[in-house]
Structure 1
Amino acid sequence: MPRITVDVESTIGSSIGRHGGPGAGMRDAPGRAGGWPVGEGRVEDTLDTEGRCVRTMVLMQEPARPGDEVSAWPVAVLHLSDGRHDLDEVVCVAEAEPFVDLVDTTDLGRRHAEPAAWAAVLGRLSPGSAYRVTGCGSRREADRLVADARHTYLQLTGCME
């Protein structure tokens, strides 16, 4: 799995993760209620088909602060629509011990991290937007999206080797 660095722009609490997964209770902080925080951000040095950096959501540990750079790996890609615009958002997990067992879309259900849960988090991170999930792609699709966007960036900047 290729690692990426997510520049976190905003964070929010979620219901994702604290309710399941093998040994989840053993790895969770004592007395912690709710789920893991989710950050929304972008992958630097990438350009998508709209000419913007690839958008990401990352499941991460506390402290979760805007402005942090989080080393993560993609596990899925959400295909979203608000009725006017379509959007692909790469779903990532931080490169941290509590998330080592999350490597693809099939693993997300064990942590109550189905596509609808991610869409709900995105709706809270982006007030005024009403995205609905139109599809969910695999880790392989997410990896390809990031790789293609990085290649586009390198071509445009003349940094191809």
Structure 2
Amino acid sequence: MRVSIITLFLLIAGVRLAGAQTQSTSPAPTKAEQEIINLSKAKWTWMADKNVDSLNVLFDEKAVFVHMGGSWGKPQEINVIKSGGIWYKKADVYSTSVNIFGGTAILLNDIDLLAVVGGNEVVHAFMVTEVYVKENGKWKMGSLTFSQLLRPVKMEVPGKK
């Protein structure tokens, strides 16, 4: 009996150790998930370049934008970008995840954002939530939310320490 218990214990411990040593890897994104990831990457470029024409097509008419300083709709976001009220200068994306539920996609980006806000250059760590809705075969952004993270900024900014 004692040998059986010891054998069982060693077997369970061995299985647990073997499981702990297997490397956890995320599966490759599906075609739809990759489409959302690519759209998000393009959006960061368009925002940095102040390409309001492309952003105007991407943003749904009822889209909402949540920032540290408040929330507003599409016309205000387009105007803020166009006027330079917020210049999304550079986003370093450290991780991205996408979940798709029917015709809705939710993307999370862990980023450091270098921006110019009211003429002042700032860098913040954010978890950005992007919600996309598929309408007539095309993905439209329904929401963009910046949630400040408490982790240190990783981005190297010239002239700043």
TM over 0.5: no
From the two aligned structures, give the one with the greater strand fraction.
2
- Give 1 or 2 for the bigger CA radius of gyration: 2
From the two aligned structures, give the one with the greater helix fraction.
2
Structure with greater contact order relative to length (CA < 8 Å, sep ≥ 6): 1
